[in-house]
Amino acid sequence: MTEADIKRKFNEALKLEKEGKISQAAKVYSEILGMNPKFQKAYLNLGALYSRTGDSENAIKTYQKALELGKTTELYYNLGVELYRLGSLDAAVKALKSSLELNKKYLNSHLLLAYCYKQLDRPDKSELYLKNAIKLDPKNKTAYAALATIYFDTEKWEEALAAANTAIQINPNDPRMEILMTEIHVKLGNYKQSFETLKKVTTTAQGFVQFNDSIKEARQKPKPEEKVFFDNLEVLTRKKLDEFKDKLTLSKENPQDFEAPEAQDALDLSLMYLFHGDTERALKYLLYAQKNLQENPTSEAG
């Protein structure tokens, strides 16, 4: 088959890919490689198709064959991705470092190396590669978000707060970062800021808003079984609230004899108020639980 015929088949495979006909495209790429085993681009595209279908083992074999024909940054990175997916972290690190030997400014390799080292419990190395990524792309929201998480896990609260703030400036209303911010504020003792941030998340995060709206709708027009649930919830909440207030009063009046409400007491009330559709009260009791756990780390809710 002539070079023109192979090029025609390659374009046919590309067209099939664009149409979402993955298995047919893979078959054509395999036919091309049967005719020309040194067509590296066909290996690269075939490996990418295996990756898209979750077949990491065949993707790895295909990328390795492509590397025999010539080393490229993209190939080493793609190989690193598949090894990471399979949990072969040391091999993934090796492949990603090989990609950086060819192009030290390849952003994606720095980012994935950071994730590999996080999994390997090497936060120092993870931080290093995230900072490299930020040097290459100062507005990379992924790098700042990951850096905030690394700092949080290593209890560097001020650094975590700064990184999370930057991540949110780059990507406003990111609920994951906003929730992390509430936890950081609790660790720093900034309970008011934690409450305000939580309140904002519950009024803007799509999933929570939809949940809250569905609860309100169910309370306004309850089905028979839902009415029973909400009636019982009302009784349970009133009882739990009375118990909570009694514990709180007794602990303040006689701290030697009575303990304050525990985190689990507050979490129970928070959940109850959540199903009442009373988000603000739910958040206040959640904040009490956070504060309790922060001040009494050996006391776990559960």
HEC-encoded secondary structure of 36-96? CCCCHHHHHHHHHHHHHCCCHHHHHHHHHHHHHHCCCHHHHHHHHHHHHHCCCHHHHHHHH
Are 95 and 78 a contacting pair, CB within 8 Å?
no
257 SS3 class? coil
Averaging pLDDT over each range in 54-63, 92-101, 200-209, which range is the top one?
Answer: 92-101
Tens of pLDDT along 241-280?
Answer: 788 778 778 877 777 777 777 777 776 777 676 666 677 7
What is the mean pLDDT of the segment spanning 72-90? 95
Tens of pLDDT along 94-126?
Answer: 999 999 999 999 999 999 999 999 999 999 999
What is the mean pLDDT of the segment spanning 38-43? 86
Reply yes or no on whether the pLDDT at 298 is more than 60.
no
Reply yes or no on whether the pLDDT at 25 is more than 60.
yes
Tens of pLDDT along 282-291?
Answer: 777 777 776 7
Are 153 and 123 a contacting pair, CB within 8 Å?
yes
- pTM recorded for the entire structure: 0.71
Q: What is the pLDDT at residue 213? A: 66
Q: What is the pLDDT at residue 97? A: 98
What is the mean pLDDT of the segment spanning 71-89? 95
Domain boundaries, the chain: 213-295
Q: What is the pLDDT at residue 141? A: 92
205: confidence class by pLDDT, cuts 50, 70, 90 = low
Q: What is the pLDDT at residue 302? A: 45
Reply yes or no on whether the pLDDT at 90 is more than 70.
yes
154 SS3 class? coil
Tens of pLDDT along 131-179?
Answer: 999 999 999 999 999 999 999 999 999 999 999 999 999 998 787 888 7
Q: What is the pLDDT at residue 277? A: 67
Rounded distance between C-alpha atoms, residue 94 and residue 101, angstroms: 11
